[in-house]
Amino acid sequence: MNIRLDKFLSSQTDYTRTDIKKLLWKRKISVDGKILRDGSIKIDPEASEIVADGRKIIYRDKVYIILNKPEGFVCATEDKREKTVMDLLGEDLKRKDIFPAGRLDKDTTGMVLITNDGPLSHQILSPKKHIPKYYIVKLAESFQNDYIRQFAEGITIDRGERCLPAKVRQCPDSENTALIELHEGKYHQIKRMFTAVENHVEKLCRIQMGNLPIPEKLGIGEYMEIMHKDVENLLKPTDFEEVFRNVSEKFSSYWINIL
Ligand code: URA
């Protein structure tokens, strides 16, 4: 694969064209140890080592990053007022073409996928594809067993908007926490669903997307890159009972995200 050096740098980083020109001019770009000052030179990024401003730029076509989102960050690539999930990524992973696949509210914590894979993102978000997302919710009032039936029938949230059937189950040894499975992502959906049953969401944490749980070792605000084969788990079928069993066994490790 041969590509112009400046084009390669632009596609794999968050550098603007002006940044790249400046770096070339300041002799801060090397290919296989040789300083280059001409961005139009063709290189083979799969066979060469490219360093820009001390940063090794490794060629990646598709990028998949799992982030354990803290409270206080919005899921967007840019925001004039708020900090975004992109601000949590280190320099090595910053590039112009990545975006969060789906949104969690500013005060929701947990699993966010950041990628440049548009078709995959579409699959994850489309209600037609039925890819479930799992959340642990901490409620202001005790969990009521009737929620199971109400959520399964499809809750009507404000102004008559109907939700798809959802599954919900009280977490063990806890009066006011529950696991919920959703197949869609309406604005503030879980908060509005619990408001509709006269409860209130105090904390919300996404713990799994499709068959891909958030890695246990990821602390709040931490992220890791995952491989394409792991991403395939997003699209594999899941079983609510199995997710519930896993959550019950590992419940203490999720507490850290929701307390
Ligand atoms: N439902 C909500 O209310 N908020 C989220 O962030 C996700 C689902």
What's the pLDDT at 101?
Answer: 95
204 CB within 6 A, ligand 1: yes
Tell me phi and psi for residue 204, to 5 degrees.
Answer: -140, 135
Q: What is the DSSP letter of 259?
A: -
What's the pLDDT at 227?
Answer: 87
- What domains does the chain contain, in order, with CATH numbers? 3-57 (3.10.290.10), 64-258 (3.30.2350.10)
Contact 35, 27 (CB under 8 A): yes
What's the pLDDT at 26?
Answer: 97
CA atoms within a 13 Å half-sphere pointing along the CA-CB vector of 243: 27
The protein residue whose alpha carbon is closest to atom 2 in ligand 1 is 188
105 catalytic, yes or no?
yes
Query: Alpha-carbon distance 88 to 221, whole Å?
Result: 7
Average confidence (pLDDT) per 10 residues, the chain, 259 residues: 93 95 97 96 95 93 95 96 96 92 96 95 85 95 97 92 95 90 94 97 95 91 91 92 90 62
Q: Kindly give the distance from the C-alpha atom of residue 209 to the centroid of ligand 1, in angstroms, as a whole number.
A: 13
The protein residue whose alpha carbon is closest to atom 3 in ligand 1 is 188
Contact 195, 189 (CB under 8 A): no
Neighbours of 36 (CB within 10 A): 15
Contact 234, 126 (CB under 8 A): no
What's the pLDDT at 225?
Answer: 94
The protein residue whose alpha carbon is closest to atom 7 in ligand 1 is 104
What's the pLDDT at 214?
Answer: 92
Q: Kindly give the distance from the C-alpha atom of residue 250 to the centroid of ligand 1, in angstroms, as a whole number.
A: 22
Token pair for 72: 């206080």
